[in-house]
Amino acid sequence: MPARAAALALICLALAPEARAAAFDDLKTDLAVCLRFELDGARARRAGAGDAVRRCAVEIERLDRADPRRLPGDRGLSPSTRGVLQSVLGSGGRSRSTR
């Protein structure tokens, strides 16, 4: 029985980083989906990207909390959040990839 518990513990430890990575990717995807949805609505309302970013503030905060890294000059955003914003809003803004 102790061997079985030890094996189960090792399996849980081995899978934990993958689960965190998947959840992190989900946060990035959630932000990208929110931004695209709001951008489509913003076009209908003739609002801009700033409106879409404000409406996705919850998703931005969730991703920022998950990624504690900060770089000088990034306006307080994590590199992950900045990357999603650039992929959706930058150069045409309709990129499908967020990973």
CB count within 10 Å of CB 78 equals 19
> Cα separation of 51 and 42, whole Å?
7
Give me the torsion for CA of 36, 40, 45, 48, rounded to 10°. 40
* pTM as predicted: 0.65
Fill in the amino acid letter for 93: G
Query: Could you tell me the pLDDT band of residue 95, with boundaries at 50, 70 and 90?
Result: very low
2: pLDDT strictly greater than 60: yes
- Answer whether residue 51 shows pLDDT above 90: no
pLDDT tens, residue by residue, 68-87: 887 666 677 888 888 999 99
Domain chopping of the chain, boundaries:
26-89
Residue with the larger pLDDT of the pair 10 and 93: 10
